[in-house]
């Protein structure tokens, strides 16, 4: 018989586990203090992890300008205008007043992307898909603010 038997596999696994635990216990001695040392968690705004977030001073919208270039191709474009008071609720979506395909021409706004009509299962729908309905989950107003976390990201050479 070419197939390893269940019994063989079980015996093999048993000795493998013993060998591994021996190797681990020899090569990586972990002191009890190390193993139980608390993990150092930090908040984005450098307040104590147990304290509540300090109240912000509200959103400061930049004056309406032309859209900033996207940093990477898949980026949801930033919103180049204020969205103060633009309600998006279960009943009403202010954004679609200008960005729906039927309104965009008149409003001189960009039509919502064709990708926004695809359902989670990949079916093409005739109106904005529920998973793209809450626009501000992905689109935020552009503003000149200091990044909370730095990064060194550069888009791929062929995609610039
Ligand atoms: C009163 C009309 C109006 C409403 C309401 C409106 N927009 Fe706009 N939006 C525009 C216009 C006009 C532009 C195009 C500005 C330009 O290209 O200079 C634009 C541009 C944008 C862009 C940039 C698109 C690109 O080509 O880069 C995004 C993203 C956007 N809006 C999102 C939103 C979201 C999200 C909402 C709701 C919270 C919203 N807009 C509500 C008129 C509107
Ligand atoms: C799940 C994230 C997500 C949500 C929710 C979402 N968008 Fe987008 N949006 C994107 C991404 C990513 C792009 C750019 C890539 C693409 O076209 O899909 C985009 C592109 C756009 C564009 C530019 C289209 C173009 O031709 O350049 C507009 C305008 C826009 N979205 C408006 C909206 C509006 C209005 C809503 C709410 C009804 C909305 N988006 C909801 C992620 C999202």
**pLDDT tens digits along 50-83:** 888 777 777 888 889 888 889 888 999 999 999 9
Q: Report CA(125)–ligand 2 centroid distance (Å).
A: 15
Residue with tokens 């001695």: 29
Q: Report CA(10)–ligand 2 centroid distance (Å).
A: 54
**pLDDT tens digits along 99-111:** 999 999 999 999 9
Q: Can you tell me whether residue 130 is helix, strand or coil?
A: helix
Residue nearest to atom 10 of ligand 1 (CA): 109
Residue among 43, 79, 47 at smallest CA distance from 62: 79
Per-residue exposure over 91-114, b if at least 16 CB sit within 10 Å of its own CB, e if not: eebebbebbbeeeeeeeeeeebee
What residues does ligand 1 touch, defined as CB less than 6 Å away? 66-67, 77, 79-81, 83, 86, 94-95, 97-99, 107-110, 135-136, 139
pTM of the model: 0.79
């Amino acid at each position: 018989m070419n197939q390893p038997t269940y019994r063989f596999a079980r015996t093999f696994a048993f000795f493998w586990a013993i060998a591994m635990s021996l190797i681990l216990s020899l090569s990586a001695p972990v002191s009890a203090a190390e193993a139980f040392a608390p993990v150092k968690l930090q908040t984005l705004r450098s307040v104590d992890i147990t304290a509540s977030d300090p109240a912000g001073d509200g959103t400061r919208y930049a004056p309406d300008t032309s859209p900033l270039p996207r940093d990477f191709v898949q980026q949801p474009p930033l919103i180049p205008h204020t969205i103060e008071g633009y309600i998006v609720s279960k009943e009403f979506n202010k954004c679609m007043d200008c960005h729906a395909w039927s309104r965009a021409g008149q409003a001189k706004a960009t039509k919502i992307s064709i990708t926004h009509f695809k359902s989670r299962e990949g079916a093409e729908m005739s109106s904005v898909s529920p998973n793209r309905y809450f626009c501000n989950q992905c689109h935020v107003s552009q503003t000149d603010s200091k990044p909370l976390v730095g990064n060194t990201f550069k888009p791929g050479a062929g995609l610039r």
